[in-house]
């Protein structure tokens, strides 16, 4: 059965299954069993969370010291969270220059972007080295202008790259150049960032799991950590007493007092079409580019080797805890599908076969921070704000270096132990996020349709910036 938006089967019941990526990865290789923890054990390092952050941390720890006892505790299965649900955009940070320069100054901003560029390349090298077939494809990242109001944003983004001395990293594209890479009637011009690779994210997460297991890391899946007593992780049927603990819990950080004030949990959804390689050829989208628009309520899309489009962008709802809304929001799926149909009318006859969602950990600066909690041996990485595929590898490197006391370039990145603004307390935080989101969508929809946004919506959408957060429109 297909509904009016072409949604079929699994797509109509988001969250009734794992993401398509994860099902595909598990069918290829279910991996070794990692049963739940059922007794008290000890370790050098206990890591809470088996996504990219936790697994890269385990990877780098074992690289630095193969003798370290490392235990990963994951409430679901590794890659069951956003690491196995995301769009698979391993993208550069050159489009984040404005925030980075504002926070850390020009030199540190460029250094941070270069670290992300290296991370993207190294993910490909990791896959090659360890035989992880994560469909890695370095096709770059194209920004597409879909509203006149975005032309200025595009110019400013390209201009800033020029100002800080890296014009080769971001260059403007004419409407014709955009059409050559991907012909959508919605695109009016854009920009190209050469740093960008697509991955099958669940294959990467499960590949990392295989590699760290091979290095002697212990993983207990189906094991929820209820609290940390200093560096002892407490779970329902056992505990891990360790010298160091890592909180790698992403948006679930809203439930941890150590991280709560710097995060909002925000939903994001993806729809996936049936394979349609001929249609992709017709619109010229064969270069593997990652693509997004300029909206704050971002729409982002990429292709797969068998000719599907994965299109993200619905959701955007905030919650105080990570609940069902993040995986079973049928309205968000319909909104995402609507966005897809708008941008790719030539795919009208192609069904949308799957859909899924997950939580993202929005930070006050739109950028993550990594570090050590004050007066403790507890480490964290949080605030990826929906851009974690490349940064989590750096987070893992940084946390491993901090834990082992290694003095490296990674620990001197400006987001390491950076002080971050706090969000207002609940219930104002989720309530405020909801009001601002509605205003942003109203503003951006009006702009896209060539209308003038309403005064109230335009003002409300700017509230976060006026409060000093690096979020939302100027
Ligand atoms: C729909 C969607 C699309 C996205 N698209 C992109 C993209 O294209 N590019 C990009 O760069 N980023 C994207 N992101 C963001 C990206 O997925 C994340 O930033 C990244 O995966 C973060 O990795 P992580 O390991 O920190 O978090 P996660 O993958 O969320 O891992 C955290 C893990 O901790 C576990 N956990 C939580 N609490 C506990 C507990 N108490 N006990 C035990 N385990 C616990 C969770 O089950 C989870 O598996 C997207 C996110 C979503 C949801």
User: From atom 41 of ligand 1, which residue's Cα is the shortest distance away?
Assistant: 225
Core vs surface per residue 218-254: b (16+ CB within 10 A) or e: bbbbebebeebeebbbebeebbbbbebbbbbbbbbbb
Mutate to test the pocket of ligand 1, among 227, 367, 388, 398 (most ligand atoms within 8 A of CB): 388
Name the percent of the chain lying above pLDDT 90. 81
**Structure token pair of residue 44:** 């050098």
pTM attached to this predicted model:
0.96
Whole-number Å distance between alpha carbons of 48 and 52? 12
CB of 53 sitting under 6 A from ligand 1: yes
Task: Give the Å distance between the CA of 148 and the centre of ligand 1.
Answer: 33
Stretch among 89-103, 277-291, 433-447 having the lowest mean pLDDT: 433-447
Task: Give the Å distance between the CA of 187 and the centre of ligand 1.
Answer: 30
Query: Which pLDDT value is given to residue 232?
Result: 98
Please say if the pLDDT value at position 13 is more than 90. no
- Given CA atoms 270, 287, 182, 166 in this order, what sign does their dihedral have? positive
CB of 389 sitting under 6 A from ligand 1: yes
Encode pLDDT of 277-322 as tens digits. Answer: 999 999 999 999 999 999 988 899 999 999 999 999 877 888 889 9
Query: Which pLDDT value is given to residue 155?
Result: 97
Mutate to test the pocket of ligand 1, among 55, 386, 387 (most ligand atoms within 8 A of CB): 386
Whole-number Å distance between alpha carbons of 457 and 329? 24
Stretch among 99-103, 209-213, 323-327 having the lowest mean pLDDT: 323-327
Greatest Cα-to-Cα distance within the chain, rounded to the nearest angstrom:
63
1: confidence class by pLDDT, cuts 50, 70, 90: low
- DSSP β-bridge partners for residue 296: none
Mutate to test the pocket of ligand 1, among 20, 49, 321 (most ligand atoms within 8 A of CB): 49
Query: Which pLDDT value is given to residue 65?
Result: 97
Name the percent of the chain lying above pLDDT 70. 100
Please say if the pLDDT value at position 9 is more than 90. no
CB of 234 sitting under 6 A from ligand 1: no
Please say if the pLDDT value at position 2 is more than 80. no
The C-alpha angle 270, 350, 449, rounded to 5 degrees, equals 65
Query: Which atom of ligand 1 approaches the CA of 52 most closely?
Result: 25
**What's the mean per-residue pLDDT of the chain?**
94
User: From atom 18 of ligand 1, which residue's Cα is the shortest distance away?
Assistant: 388
Task: Give the Å distance between the CA of 413 and the centre of ligand 1.
Answer: 22
CB of 250 sitting under 6 A from ligand 1: yes
CB of 270 sitting under 6 A from ligand 1: yes
Task: Give the Å distance between the CA of 9 and the centre of ligand 1.
Answer: 25
Query: Which atom of ligand 1 approaches the CA of 359 most closely?
Result: 53
Task: Give the Å distance between the CA of 387 and the centre of ligand 1.
Answer: 10
Query: Which pLDDT value is given to residue 311?
Result: 98
The Cα-based distances of 466 to 193, 459, 461, 470, 474 in angstroms read 29, 10, 10, 9, 8
On whether the CB atoms of residues 322 and 259 are closer than 8 A, the answer is no
Task: Give the Å distance between the CA of 334 and the centre of ligand 1.
Answer: 23
Whole-number Å distance between alpha carbons of 153 and 87? 23
Query: Which atom of ligand 1 approaches the CA of 90 most closely?
Result: 11
Task: Give the Å distance between the CA of 382 and the centre of ligand 1.
Answer: 10
14: confidence class by pLDDT, cuts 50, 70, 90: confident
């Amino acid at each position: 059965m297909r509904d009016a938006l072409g949604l079929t089967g699994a797509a109509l019941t988001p969250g009734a299954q794992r993401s398509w990526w994860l099902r595909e990865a598990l069918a290829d290789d279910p991996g070794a069993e990692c049963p739940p923890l059922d007794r008290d054990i000890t370790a050098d390092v206990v890591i809470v969370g088996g996504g990219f952050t936790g697994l890269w941390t385990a990877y780098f720890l074992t690289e630095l010291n193969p003798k370290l006892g490392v235990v990963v505790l994951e409430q679901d299965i590794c890659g069951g969270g956003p690491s196995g649900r995301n769009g698979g955009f391993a993208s550069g940070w050159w489009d984040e220059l404005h925030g980075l320069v504002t926070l850390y100054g020009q030199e540190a901003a460029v250094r941070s972007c270069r670290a992300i560029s290296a991370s993207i390349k190294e993910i490909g090298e990791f896959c090659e080295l360890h035989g992880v077939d994560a469909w890695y494809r370095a096709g770059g990242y194209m920004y597409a202008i879909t509203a006149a109001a975005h032309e200025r944003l595009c110019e400013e983004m390209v201009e800033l790259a020029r100002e800080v001395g890296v014009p080769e990293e971001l260059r403007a594209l004419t409407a014709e150049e955009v059409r050559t890479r991907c012909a959508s009637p919605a695109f009016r011009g854009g920009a190209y960032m050469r740093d960008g690779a697509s991955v099958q994210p669940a294959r990467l997460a499960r590949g990392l799991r295989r590699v760290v297991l091979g290095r002697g890391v212990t993983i207990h899946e189906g094991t929820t950590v209820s609290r940390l007593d200093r560096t002892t992780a407490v779970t329902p049927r056992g505990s891990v007493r360790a010298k160091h603990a890592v909180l790698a819990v992403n948006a679930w950080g809203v439930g941890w007092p150590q991280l709560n004030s710097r995060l909002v949990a925000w939903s994001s959804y993806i729809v996936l079409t049936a394979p349609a390689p001929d249609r992709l050829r017709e619109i010229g989208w064969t270069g593997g580019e990652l693509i997004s628009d300029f909206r704050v309520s971002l729409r982002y899309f990429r292709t797969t080797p068998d000719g599907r489009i994965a299109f993200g962008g619905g959701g955007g709802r905030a919650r105080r805890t990570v609940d069902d809304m993040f995986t079973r929001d049928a309205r968000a799926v319909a909104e995402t599908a609507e966005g897809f149909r708008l941008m790719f009318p030539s795919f009208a006859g192609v069904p949308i076969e799957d859909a899924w969602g997950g939580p993202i950990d929005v930070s006050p600066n739109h950028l993550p921070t990594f570090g050590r909690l004050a007066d403790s041996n507890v480490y964290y990485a949080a605030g990826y704000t929906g851009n974690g595929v490349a940064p989590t590898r750096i987070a893992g490197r940084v946390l491993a270096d901090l834990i082992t006391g290694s003095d490296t370039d990674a620990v001197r990145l400006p987001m390491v132990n950076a002080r971050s603004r706090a969000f207002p307390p609940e219930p104002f935080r989720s309530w405020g996020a909801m009001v601002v989101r509605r205003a942003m969508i109203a503003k951006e929809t009006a702009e896209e349709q060539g209308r003038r946004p309403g005064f109230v919506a335009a003002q409300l959408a700017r509230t976060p910036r006026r409060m000093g957060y690096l979020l939302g429109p100027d």
